[in-house]
């Protein structure tokens, strides 16, 4: 019959149309899920904290004599910037280690370089798109806290090339619907700032020549810092 032969292709066409609709709906659903997942990832992604050492320099107070053994008073300024427009960052529980780096041996990992001095550093809270400066001022004992060969070099007016290793915990906080949401519970994060110069005095008077030394996140440069 004519009707029977006509019905068959129509039904087939409907089936195909249904299949096409289902497929389109599925693709749209998958896309929506992907878009939402991506938005959540972007929202919760921990933004990188940018750190630098002002003037690329650690200043040491002039020491009157080597006998009796002097105090080694050091200071430097860590500049922090939070590039995120959404998250505030807190870098806490910080310890800094000044490590001597050999100019002639750039390939040697900073993490293995000998320690000149090590001390705690104040917390660095950085709100969204805000810069923060934190100053370290420490008074260390020659020999006990700072090996004598470095004290002697500083006393003799020689600068020491160093890397500043910064260890601490990064906490990212986000405000969603007026509620603080903590995206992580403090991730152990290490930065290396190099090269910096440790020297007696306040450094170069010519501001234009004093450049900041950027700090690199250990995870960005695993090979570089060993
Ligand atoms: C280092 O700092 C201590 C404590 O602030 C102070 O008593 C001492 O005089 C300082 N020494 C030098 C060499 O600046």
Rounded CA-CA distance 48/218 in Å is 12
CA distances from 163 to 54, 58, 134, 196 (A): 14, 10, 18, 6
| ∠ Cα 53 116 222 (to 5°) | 60
* Distance, first Cα to last Cα, the chain: 83
Give pLDDT, residue 29.
75
Rounded CA-CA distance 9/145 in Å is 90
Q: Is 48 touching ligand 1 by the criterion CB < 6 Å?
A: no
The rounded Å distance from CA 67 to ligand 1 centre is: 15
Give pLDDT, residue 226.
44
Give pLDDT, residue 112.
75
- Answer yes or no: are the C-beta atoms of 119 and 78 closer than 8 Å: no
Rounded CA-CA distance 135/199 in Å is 17
Atom 1 of ligand 1: nearest residue by CA position: 73
The rounded Å distance from CA 21 to ligand 1 centre is: 79
Q: How many CB atoms lie within 10 A of CB 144?
A: 10
Q: Is 141 touching ligand 1 by the criterion CB < 6 Å?
A: no
The rounded Å distance from CA 140 to ligand 1 centre is: 9
Query: What predicted TM-score, i.e. pTM, was given to this entire model?
Result: 0.74
* Domain spans, the chain: 1-44, 47-225
What does the pLDDT look like over 43-57, one tens digit per residue?
555 567 899 999 999
pLDDT-flagged residues of the chain (< 70): 1-11, 36-47, 103-111, 175-185, 203-210, 220-226
């Amino acid at each position: 019959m004519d009707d029977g032969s006509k019905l068959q292709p129509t039904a087939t066409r409907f089936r195909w149309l249904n299949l096409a609709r289902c497929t389109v709906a599925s693709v749209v659903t998958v896309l929506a899920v992907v878009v939402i997942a991506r938005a959540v990832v972007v929202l919760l992604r921990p933004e990188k904290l940018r750190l630098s050492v002002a003037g690329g320099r650690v200043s040491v107070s002039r020491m009157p004599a080597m006998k009796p053994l002097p105090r080694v008073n050091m200071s430097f300024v860590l500049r922090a910037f939070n590039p995120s427009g959404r998250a505030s960052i807190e870098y806490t529980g910080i310890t800094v280690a000044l490590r001597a780096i050999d100019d002639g041996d750039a390939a040697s990992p900073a993490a293995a370089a000998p320690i000149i001095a090590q001390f705690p550093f104040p917390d660095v809270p950085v709100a969204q798109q805000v810069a923060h400066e934190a100053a370290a001022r420490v008074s260390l004992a020659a020999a006990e806290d700072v090996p004598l060969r470095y004290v002697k070099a500083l006393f003799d007016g020689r600068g020491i090339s160093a890397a500043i290793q910064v260890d601490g915990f990064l906490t990212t906080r986000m405000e969603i619907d007026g509620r603080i949401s903590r995206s992580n519970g403090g991730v152990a994060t290490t930065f290396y700032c190099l090269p910096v110069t440790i020297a007696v005095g306040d450094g170069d008077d010519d501001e234009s020549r004093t450049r900041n030394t950027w700090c690199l996140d250990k995870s960005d440069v695993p090979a570089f810092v060993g």
